[in-house]
Amino acid sequence: MVNNEDVIGWYNQRFNKPVLFSKKQIPVTIDTSLSTGRYVWASETGADIMREYFERFNVDPAGFAFEKYWPEETFILFALCTCGGDDEPQPLTLRMLAQSARAGKWLYD
């Protein structure tokens, strides 16, 4: 059975590389969000993380709504000319990944 440390360890090893010039990793907890907060991944990297996560932990991705966590970004000129704005991303935490890995399917969408 997958535990929280399995997910944190995988994430740290594969994606939590030392910050440029400091050579220190960003502190990660089970409640670290990949899509909101201080250290947000670009959607391209988010896609890579989730693709590897589903395969590595054998999680059925059915129902996972990528755009809920990484909404499509509006072109800046268009955003300035309209009153609409980008959708706000929902938090995607390592806890959500760990709980879904234990269930074998995505639990949150």
pLDDT for the residue 86: 59
pLDDT for the residue 75: 47
Q: Which stretches of the chain score pLDDT less than 70?
A: 73-86
| Every domain of the chain and the residues it spans | 4-16+27-103
Q: What is the pTM of this model?
A: 0.85
pLDDT for the residue 44: 95
pLDDT for the residue 18: 86
- Phi and psi for 88 in degrees, rounded to 5? -80, 135
Each residue's pLDDT tens digit, 60-74: 999 999 999 999 864
Identify the three-state secondary structure at position 44. helix
Identify the three-state secondary structure at position 60. strand
pLDDT for the residue 78: 44
- Sequence-distant (≥ 6) Cβ neighbours of residue 75 within 8 angstroms: none
Q: Residue 33's beta-bridge partner residues?
A: 93
pLDDT for the residue 72: 85
